[in-house]
């Protein structure tokens, strides 16, 4: 068995394995599969979008969503540019979400208006209207 390298950031592992095992499964969810190549490409694209949105090293990126691959991509993309991901549960009451966002002071709030758990558009609008940009 090959030795696992010691890399600086967790996102570096995705890019490392994308070079060495590009067609190996990296992420599997129900019937959807992502190879290391696909995951690296999507994480890199997401990281460029974060940079375009003004996110820099040390900035926080809040992701409000139920567990889903896009949250993992946000985490990898943020980590790849030195950002910090703050996960938010859309089931939390609006007051708690405001508290967490006020404490974390993210540069960007990423959220999904609708998912299997329900419609979160109004909550995102409320939070976005205060001082956080919607992605």
pLDDT digits (tens, 9 = 90+) for 29-39: 888 999 999 99
Please state, in angstroms and rounded to a whole number, the distance separating the CA atoms of residues 50 and 45. 9
Please state, in angstroms and rounded to a whole number, the distance separating the CA atoms of residues 21 and 25. 9
Structure tokens at 52: 């375009």
pTM: 0.84
Structure tokens at 21: 């095992």
All structural domains of the chain with their residue ranges = 10-130
| Helix segments in 61-93, DSSP class H | 69-80
- Secondary structure (3-state) at 70: helix
Residue 133 has pLDDT above 70, yes or no: no
β-bridge partners, 118: 115
Can you tell me the mean pLDDT for 43-58? 95
pLDDT score, position 101: 94
Q: Which CATH architecture has domain 10-130?
A: 3-Layer(aba) Sandwich (3.40)
């Amino acid at each position: 068995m090959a030795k696992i390298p010691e890399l600086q950031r967790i996102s570096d592992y995705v890019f490392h394995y994308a070079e060495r095992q590009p067609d190996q499964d990296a992420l599997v969810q129900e019937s959807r599969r992502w190879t290391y190549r696909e995951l690296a490409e999507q994480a890199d694209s997401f990281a460029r979008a974060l940079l375009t949105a003004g996110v820099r090293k040390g900035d926080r990126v809040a992701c409000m969503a139920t567990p889903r691959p896009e949250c993992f991509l946000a985490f990898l993309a943020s980590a790849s540019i030195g950002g910090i991901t703050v996960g938010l549960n859309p089931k939390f009451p609006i007051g708690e979400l405001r508290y967490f966002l006020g404490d974390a002071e993210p540069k960007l709030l990423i959220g999904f208006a609708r998912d299997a758990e329900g419609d979160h558009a109004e909550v995102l609008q409320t939070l976005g209207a205060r001082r956080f940009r919607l992605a």
